Amino acid sequence: MSSPSHVADTPITDRNALVDVLASGEKPADDWRIGTEHEKFGFRLSDLRPPTFDGPQGIEALLTGLTRFGWAPVDENGRTVALLKDGASVTLEPAGQLELSGAPLIDIHATCSEVHAHLREVRAVAEALGLGFLGMGFQPKWRRDEMPWMPKGRYRIMRDYMPKVGTLGLDMMTRTCTVQVNLDYASEADMVKKFRVSLALQPVATALFADSPFTEGKPNGFLSYRSHIWTDTDADRTGMLDFVFEDGFGYERYVDYLLDVPMYFSYRDGVYHDASGQSFRDFLRGALPALPGQLPTLRDWSDHMTTAFPEVRLKKYLEMRGADGGPWGRLCALPAFWVGLLYDDTALDAAWDLVRDLTLTERNALRDAVPRQALATPWRHGTLRDLAIEALKISAAGLQRRARVNGDGQDERVFLETLIEIAESGQTPAEQKLALYHGPWQGDIDRLFREFAY
């Protein structure tokens, strides 16, 4: 979840300006970049509890400590709630989950170096504070009411609104972590094709990255409980966006979707104005109850775009949102998977051939079944594992053709190895942890924090 947008306060006077925002994301292929984001759970080494915002072991102390690496603090009401440096940011999710939103970088080697540098910095500061960090999709030990809340205005508004529209929205806010990648498009047609391919294949990513099998110290019956949570968060702003596959889909249709997503807030002069449940269409007419007579700005629109949570999200780029958070190696694997599929024309065509005849029913059936069954989800004459293996082959070939090599002469396929191992074995990270829980750990969830921390 983003901090306030830094887009200019240019007033919006008509719907075409909203369409133009999406069109302005078009870039020639030589200018395509890769932006990788990931979230992680902090915990106190002494008792494994999540750190609060305040105090000597608090999240604000961690952010302050990171400034010694050149990060500039971002304040809200006099408190440090984020950091900025070189096109990247470090922000806080509602319960203090720490997020790196990486800079737009040229290849997976660069984005993986960025991830490693960030995690080294976090570990250096966290160890001195007696903190550790864990990459998973769902908080494995603590109850919702044991999670802290960060002092950010937008989260107060969302916290009040979520229980009105679903039963798991507060869990989404406080107890989930993800890794995602943001990718560019050349034209409206290119965006449409990439959107359809990535939306149809998003259950494959969810399955490969499934890593949230525990709730409050016990198995929860899911492999990706984080993915399940989105099914009962807020139906107005989540899901598989079936209209993306309809004839005529493009920027205008996505704008219409966003206009029908209820608002959360408008950020004006350092204040979050509660507009929860209100209509951006009314805002365009100067009839928003929260700000009567005022018109939206481009910053309002940019902020509003971040409050839709579908499996793939369009802003001025496409965001792949289906994966659970995980350890260092898988943070680099997700961008590799999608770059291989979407940034090579031959691979994109092959990926589209793989999914173009999936029906609406099949796409939604995969989405609904994957949280529990992951790679074992039935798919046509086999399982989703078969589709994952084919998608990984296409991705690897795409990365090979990109031919972006590191100092050791390795191309970007090296980052797919962990996913290929998962697909070939058929055992997801969640199933690996469940085997440890029922075996050597003898039901002791605390072992997870010791053995899987960054």
Give SS3 for 90: strand
Question: Per-residue pLDDT for 391 more than 90?
Answer: yes
- Per residue in 258-267, pLDDT (tens digit) is 999 999 999 9
Q: How far apart are CA 170 and CA 218, in angstroms?
A: 20
Q: What is the dihedral of CA 89, 93, 98, 100, to 10 degrees?
A: -30
Mean pLDDT of 76-83: 96
CA 161 to CA 168: how far, in whole Å?
Answer: 12
Which amino acid belongs to residue 50? P
Q: Nearest-CA neighbor of 372 among 240, 220, 238?
A: 220
| Separation of alpha carbons 421 and 435, rounded Å | 17
Q: Scanning the structure block, which residue is given the tokens 């399940």? A: 228
Cα–Cα distance between 382 and 89 in angstroms, integer? Answer: 42
Burial of 244 (0-12, 13-18, 19+ CB in 10 A): buried
The DSSP secondary-structure symbol of 453 reads B
Q: What is the pLDDT of residue 6?
A: 53
- Tell me the C-alpha distance between 310 and 255, whole Å: 14
Residues contacting residue 292 through CB under 8 Å, at least 6 positions apart = 286
Residue 199 pLDDT greater than 80, yes or no: yes
Tokens 């780029």 -> residue: 317
Alpha carbons 437 and 37: distance in angstroms, whole number? 29
In the prediction, which pLDDT does 1 show? 46
pLDDT attached to residue 13: 82
Interatomic CA distance for residues 282 and 259, integer angstroms: 9
pLDDT in tens, 427-445: 999 999 999 999 999 999 9
Residues in Cβ contact with 126 at an 8 Å cutoff, skipping those fewer than 6 apart: 42, 62, 132, 133
β-strand partners of 41: 134
pLDDT at 5 over 70: no
Task: Specify the residue for token string 């984080």.
Answer: 226
Q: Give residue 10's pLDDT.
A: 82
Beta-bridged to residue 40, according to DSSP, are: 98
Distance in angstroms (rounded) separating the CA atoms of residues 141 and 143: 7
Cβ-contact 34, 315 below 8 angstroms: no
Residue 91's DSSP bridge partners are 82, 99
Residue 269 in this model has a pLDDT that exceeds 90: no
What pLDDT score was predicted for residue 2?
A: 46
Q: Enumerate the domain spans of the chain.
A: 15-452
Q: What is the pLDDT of residues 35-67, one digit of tens each?
A: 999 999 999 999 999 999 999 999 999 999 999
- Taking the CA atoms of 114, 118, 119 and 124 in sequence, report the sign of the dihedral they define: positive
pLDDT of 7 over the 60 cut: no
Q: What is the CATH class of 15-452? A: alpha beta
CA pseudo-torsion sign 316, 317, 320, 325: negative
* Mean pLDDT of all residues belonging to the chain: 96
Distance CA 377, CA 368 (A): 10
Residues 416, 396 contacting (CB under 8 angstroms): yes
pLDDT single digits (tens) 297-350: 999 999 999 999 999 999 999 999 999 999 988 999 999 999 999 999 999 999
pLDDT value of residue 329: 84
- Please write the tens of the pLDDT for every residue from 223-254: 999 999 999 999 999 999 999 999 999 999 99
Residue with structure tokens 């079944």? 369
| Cα–Cα dist 59/283, whole Å | 35
CB 181 within 8 A of CB 320: yes
Six-digit token string for 365: 């059936």
For residue 417, give every residue at least 6 positions away whose Cβ sits within 8 Å of its Cβ, in sequence order, or none: none
Residue 8 pLDDT: 61
